[in-house]
Chain A
Amino acid sequence: MPILEARSLSKRFRRPDKGSGFKGALKHLVQRKYKNFTAVDAIDLSIEPGESVAYVGPNGAGKSTTVKLLTGILQPTEGTVRVMGRDPHTERIANAHDIGVLFGQRTQLWWDLPVEESLKLLKHMYGVSEADYKARIERFDELLGLGEFMPALARTLSLGQRMRADLACALIHDPKMVYLDEPTIGLDISVKDRLRAFLRQLVDDGTTLLLTSHDLADIEEVCERIVVIDEGRIAYDGPIEQLKAHYITTKAVNLILDGPADAEALAEKFPHYEWSAGEASSEVTATYESSRFTTAEVLGDLTAQLAPRDLSLSEPSIEDVIRRLYAGELTK
């Protein structure tokens, strides 16, 4: 039975339709006009317990609005949501006990309080026992290095510290379903790595996760399934590996030759590969269709005839695939 199920979920907002300039503002005062804007358009989404799902899309695609619909913050215009059998909007408080939410751009820490006091307040709010609270704080300290800034006031934390503290706040009650809306936004590489390792651990422990991010490394490292949304509609929903297998049909061999590499000459000599020049004059890339040739065949062919000084293999990243999905070049 799915832990989360959304059916034909839609959200429309009404926006003032003002003309430009002072005249437009005056006209709007007298004659009010509004336009409907569809942020989420008839989405069907089902998540099983223990799944880790990446929810990705370009800016304004409807990711955050969907998260707000799924967490009960917003009321759907149409459609239904059930999280653990409850309507998250009408049964908001009961639902809130079982979910953890992190909005990367909004903190849930009390600004003028030490981190420790915010966590204690949440402990009371969720009715967490003292023993569980201590055990979780110890775990967060071990995995997120929470101890170093527990006594610090929230407003004095760096962004990375704030995000780690916010993550602890979202998980202090050991929620069954966790929503993370851009949890690594603005963080440096080392903090991102630490957070991703923590999230992987969370998923391994069986927590159900819905993650939105613009950082595709977050997605590849943490999630097994990806849902791509664009203009409020789902453009792809399936395993990340399947997305790669389905859409990544080419691979490439990057060669460094002893002398200058002439891509055009090589294209005549090896017409079944696509050739492009590299950054240096001795570098060249041969792209081949993985359904026609095995990597061993291509490597054997090229090393025997070109005797390269060095070579490496590459394939389009998930980022390339998603970029093409956004651009409408690929369809499900």
Chain B
Amino acid sequence: MTHTLAVDRALAVISLKRRLAYKANWVFAIILGGGAMLSGLALWRNLLGDGTLGGYDWDSMRAYMIIGFFTATLAFGGADWAIADRILDGLIAVDLTKPMDFQRARAAEFVGSMVSTVPTAVVGSAIAWLVFSPPAPVSPLAGALTAVSILFIFPLAFEITYLSVLVCFWTRRYLGIMWAREAVLSFFSGIMVPLALMPAPLQIAAWCLPFPHFTTTPSNIYLGRVDTPGALGLIAAEAAWVVVMWFAGRLVFNHAVKKVTVHGG
């Protein structure tokens, strides 16, 4: 293992350990996330009845909601405050004296913290699966491609978080940025309401952004709302966003680091 990979792994493990130290968080995440999923399911059961809305019937909506719970748990599970605090408290001064790529180090830590949410996502989804018996993926290939699209959520969630946290260099505050990011992500990903139910202009706007890949892409692949070439195209788009936002992060950081003003010792 090269030194750089060893550092990445070590930073990810540190972040994971820090999260694992707070075990009550898991229980709360299952209760809160599961509660949101249950209320969503109850709402859609009443809305859909025996009919369909935006191409979703009760069967497909059950699968959609469980996938939504799984992806939202991952997407909102990263330690965004840990990055913001380093910038706002001036600890970035210490980071900048180390021979490490700031973005890569934060990515390792963030992914480590996201991994801590996997048990919550798996346990919550497994319980929902047993209780609501949603349909299986339309094909084994669709199931595999769904898993691939979900894996891309790890880098995507980091990059969106990282880009938004870098705004702290200018604003010197983070809370508002976090609220704005979470609202935009919930709305345009389809976590709140499936994109198919939104007006066409909003759908077009959403698909010009990386957010639909958090919930709509995996659920569309899983439910067969896109064929295999369509699924591959969506995954290619996810991958492209991962690459583009990685370099966008570098660009913004190189500019933001000039704004560093750590006063005093």
Please list the residues of chain A having a beta carbon within 8 angstroms of any beta carbon in chain B. Answer: 13, 64-65, 68, 71-75, 92-94, 96-97, 99, 101, 103-108, 110, 112-113, 117, 120-122, 124-127, 181-182, 185, 212
Contacts and interface: CB of A to CB of B under 8 A. Distances in A.
B88 to A, nearest CB: 13
A72 B97 contact: yes
Nearest to B10: A121
A93 B7 contact: no
Contacts of A107: 94
Q: Which of B21, B91, B97, B264 has the most CB of A within 10 A?
A: B97
Interface string B1-43: 0010011001100100110010000000000000000000000
Contacts of B264: 64, 105
B14 A105 contact: no
Nearest to A126: B99
A64 B3 contact: no
Nearest to A14: B261
Given A64-B264, A106-B265, A73 B3 contact: no
Contacts of A113: 14, 17
Nearest to B93: A73
A108 B94 contact: yes
Nearest to B3: A127
A106 B94 contact: yes
Contact of B97 (A71, A110, A117, A120): A71
Contacts of B14: 110, 112-113, 117, 121
A185 B265 contact: yes
B153 to A, nearest CB: 26
A110 B86 CA distance: 12
Given A124-B7, A185-B265, A106 B91 contact: yes
Q: Which of B11, B91, B94, B263 has the most CB of A within 10 A?
A: B94
B131 to A, nearest CB: 36
A124 B261 CA distance: 29
Contacts of B91: 106
Q: Secondary structure at chain A's binding surface: helix, strand, loop or mixed?
A: mixed
A68 B17 CA distance: 31
Interface in B73-110: 90-91, 93-94, 96-101
A92 B102 CA distance: 11
Nearest to B21: A112
Given A105-B265, A181-B265, A182-B265, 12 more contacts: A64-B264, A71-B97, A72-B97, A93-B101, A96-B96, A96-B99, A101-B97, A112-B18, A121-B7, A121-B11, A124-B10, A125-B100
A73 to B, nearest CB: 5
A125 B94 contact: no
Contacts of B100: 93, 96, 125
B258 A97 contact: no
A32 to B, nearest CB: 13
Contacts of A71: 96-97
Contacts, number: 79
Contacts of A112: 14, 17-18, 21
A13 B264 CA distance: 13
A196 to B, nearest CB: 18
A68 B99 contact: no
B3 A125 contact: yes
A73 B260 contact: yes
A106 B264 CA distance: 10
Contacts of A127: 3
A181 B264 CA distance: 10
A108 B91 CA distance: 8
Contacts of B11: 121
A106 B99 contact: no
B96 A73 contact: yes
A96 B97 contact: yes
Given A97-B99, A106-B265, A112-B21, A68 B93 contact: yes
A185 B264 CA distance: 13
Interface string B227-265: 000000000000000000000000000000110111111
A45 B115 CA distance: 48
B21 A93 contact: no
Closest 9 CB pairs of A and B: A96-B99, A105-B265, A101-B97, A124-B6, A127-B3, A73-B96, A108-B94, A97-B99, A121-B10
A89 to B, nearest CB: 9
Given A104-B265, A105-B264, A112-B18, A125 B97 contact: no
Nearest to A64: B265
A292 B261 CA distance: 51
Contacts of A101: 94, 97
A124 B100 CA distance: 11
Q: Which of A94, A108, A120 has the most CB of B within 10 A?
A: A108
Interface string B55-75: 000000000000000000000
A103 B94 contact: yes
Contacts of B258: 75
A73 B7 contact: no
A113 B21 CA distance: 12
Contact of B98 (A74, A106, A125): A125
Nearest to A113: B14
Contacts of B97: 71-73, 96, 99, 101
A222 B9 CA distance: 39
Nearest to A124: B6
A124 to B, nearest CB: 4
A108 B97 CA distance: 10
